[in-house]
Structures are given as C-alpha cells and as structure tokens.
Structure 1
Amino acid sequence: MVHKKNVFMIIVVLAILIVLSSCNKESDSTDAITTASIVNTPEDFRRAISPDGTWIVAILQDMDIDQEIIIDGDFTRNDELYRKLAFYTQDENRKVTARYTLSAPKMVVRSPNTRIQSGIFKGDVYVEATGFHLVDAVVEGNIIFSSQEYLDSFSTDETSRVTGTVALN
C-alpha cells in the first residue's frame, strides 16, 4: 500500500527535477537530454546511466544490481559537462528526507564530472574520467583511479566518506 506521505514526496521530487531541468540553457552543440530519470528498477537504472541516458539519475529506494554498472556518456547542464547520481529524496525546502543505497560489485565511471550525492554506494568504484565528486555521500568500498589526472580531479565534501581506500591503479 502506498502511503500519502510517499506519494507526496515522489511528487515533490518530480516537481523539483522538472524545475531544475527547465532551468537548463540548451545550445545547438549540446548533446544532453535535460530531463531526469527517476528509476526504481535495475533495468531502468542501467538505461539511465548509459550514453543514451540522462544527466541526472535519481533512485527512490534501495537497489541491488548483481553485475558491474558503467556510468558513460557526455552530458551537459548549464553548458558544463556534468552527471549526477541522486540517491535521495528531498522536501520542498531541498532538505534531504530519505537516503538510499545502491549496491553493485563494481561501478565504472566514464562520464566526466560525475557526482554521487546524498546516499550510499556499496561496492568498488573505478574512475576513468575527470571530476569525480562525492557530495554528502558514502562509498562502502574502494575508489580506484585509472590515472593520476583523474585522482587529482577527485573531490569530496566534509560529510562524505569512503570506507575503503582511495588509490591509483
């Protein structure tokens, strides 16, 4: 049974994502799809993170994927390369109201400037692009960078953490 509070939260998240996507300034050279993917199945998640997916992918529940996932493709938002994995819901004041966990044995990040925000990834992350960021997020595993350039461009805020090692492969 769906509770009224859950339906309200889904509507709020959708409204916020629609507003955010409508703020995009698209140019003729942009290859981004400006709508968000709000997913609740592994199949939908895998489609959304593909090169044919969207710049922002939001999950609305904990999710287990039993094979490696690959974040791939170049996406722009406000004329900047950017990809966001949102593992949370928020209220109308943008206060995080729930955090979700995505579990997979391995995540490969090939999209530049990918951000994991306000949730947990369980598994190892292999970074093959510049600008990987953690914002209010946890990686329960290792983060391995394929080059010094990618490691040097990594950032995390004070509320994020990695339970394993952060290393160069």
Structure 2
Amino acid sequence: MKAKAILLSIIMATTVLAGCGAKEEAKAPAPATQQTQPAATEKKADVVTTASIVKETEAFEKALGKEGTWIIASLNDITSTKDLVLDGEFKNGKKDKDGKDVIQRKIALYTQDADKKVTDRFTLTAPKLTIKSPNARIQSGTFKGDLYVETKDFQLVDAKVEGNVYFSSEEAKAGFKMDGTSSITGKQEVKK
C-alpha cells in the first residue's frame, strides 16, 4: 500500500511538472524561485512555472507566498494554526489564444493518476485563508476555516469550504465562480 502511494505521488509529480514547463525567449530560464525585473511598461509577474508538491505544513505555508510557486499541491491533509495568505502573481507556463502568458494560482488539495482522475482528496485547515493572487482557485479538496477573497476572479473547482467566505468588495463577490460540485457551508458576504 505504501509503495502504491509513493508510485501515485511520483506519477502526479511527473504529470504536473511535465505540463508546467515553459521557455523564456532570448535568455536562459530563471531558477524556479527567481523573479524577473519588469520593464517599465510590463506588468510585474513571476516566471515561476513549477509546482510545489508538499507534505509538511511549513512547506505549504511558504509555497503560498510571493516567493512560492503557481501551484501548491498537497499530498496529505495540512493543518496550520496561522492565518494563511495566497499572494503573488504567477505565470503557469501556458499561453492564451493571443500568445500572452497565462496568470494563474492553484491550491491543489488532491492527487491524480496518469489520466488526470482524482485519486485522493485532502483537507487544508487554518483559521483564515486570504486570497490575493489573481486568477486563483482551490481545487478538488476541502478548506476548513474562513476564506477572505480580495481578488475579482477567484474560483472553487470541485472543492468545499467548511466555513464562511468573505469578499473584500462587491467586485470580488461578483467575479467569484464556483462549479456545481463545489460547496460552502457558511455565509457568503462582502466584509470590508
């Protein structure tokens, strides 16, 4: 059973990392945690295109920050006594239809097989989780605590929130999306 869990973890890590690779034009790739200096007309964004696959609370907390990674994938339940903040703007290594880098942030509370079928779901527990990263989502797991959304494009995808969801503005609430398999047990309201 332990060998199966290790094998599934390796498959997930390989799948996530293989799909996240990207090359920068006209220069060598930056290390995973290095940020580029923006040109005067560019919007600042990290060049991070790798995943942070974590099992320990401290590593999870660190991966959420501005120096973290675009995807934070848990391999087990995570419990933190701290108020957590998902912060920073990250490229996911993909391009949109116009050839521009896609900005995205994902908390992945699951493992998957080679066919991208969810094989295990996990729970993140914290008193508070604040979402500041643009185009962020929590996917295929459970967050236990209160969620504070400061961005106008946050999503729940196949995820549950066991707590309240507070939005920093009407714009943040209007931009929130939740698919049919997601749920929230508490209230959803604007709280400034």
Shorter chain as denominator, the TM-score bin is over 0.9
Residue 49 (structure 1) aligns with: 64
Choose which of 156, 165, 176 in structure 2 pairs with 1:143.
165
Question: How far did 1:32 drift?
Answer: 2.7
**Ranges in structure 2 where 5+ consecutive residues have no aligned partner:** 26-35, 39-44, 95-100
Question: How far did 1:20 drift?
Answer: 1.4
TM-score (norm 2): 0.83
Backbone CA RMSD of aligned residues:
1.4
Question: How far did 1:74 drift?
Answer: 0.7
The residue identity in structure 2 corresponding to 1:20 is G
Evaluate the alpha carbon distance shift between residue 132 and residue 91 of structure 1 in structure 2; reply closer, same or farther with a 3 A threshold: same
Residue 74 (structure 2) aligns with: 59
Residue 3 (structure 1) aligns with: 2
Secondary structure at 2:137's aligned position in 1?
A: strand
TM-score (norm 1): 0.94
Question: How far did 1:17 drift?
Answer: 1.0
Residue 12 (structure 2) aligns with: 13
Question: How far did 1:25 drift?
Answer: 5.6
The residue identity in structure 1 corresponding to 2:161 is V
Does structure 2 retain, via aligned residues, the 8 Å contact 1:21–1:35? yes
Residue 74 (structure 1) aligns with: 89
The residue identity in structure 1 corresponding to 2:135 is N
Residue 48 (structure 2) aligns with: 33
Question: How far did 1:4 drift?
Answer: 1.0
* Number of positions where the alignment pairs a residue of Structure 1 with one of Structure 2: 167
Choose which of 129, 150, 153 in structure 2 pairs with 1:131.
153
Percent of aligned pairs with the same residue? 45
The residue identity in structure 2 corresponding to 1:106 is K
Does structure 2 retain, via aligned residues, the 8 Å contact 1:32–1:74? no
